[in-house]
A = this chain, B = another copy of it.
């Protein structure tokens, strides 16, 4: 059951399990970040019932860089572009009005952080960079 379950939309990787594919598909269709429980609610019709089923899929997906966790939101997004998990450090700008999330990679930030790490002896395994504020659209809006 590994390949071609049906005519689903997009194929990110050919070796995803059913649950992983369902979760990633849900994230991909969402307009913004979703909590694990949001995802669960949208997948009840597909037979998923327990939070753990979602968390397990999310773990694998985030490990592989196909999804990202937004720490400051306790929520998840689908990775915006395929190259991202090659460039280690990804940053997010989260709009507090409309909820939209922009994913961007600033290599300069990553090298800054690497520089600090080297200087201090810290050995980083994961980096989280999140901005909260207003996106361009919302910032220019009246009230």
Interface residues of A (CB under 8 A from B): 71-72, 91, 93, 95-96, 102, 104, 106, 108-109, 112-113, 116-117, 120-136, 139-140
Contacts and interface: CB of A to CB of B under 8 A. Distances in A.
A125 to B, nearest CB: 4
A124 B129 CA distance: 13
Nearest to A139: B123
Given A125-B96, A130-B127, A136 B120 contact: yes
B127 A116 contact: no
Contact of A130 (B71, B95, B108): B71
Contacts of A106: 112-113, 116
A136 B122 contact: yes
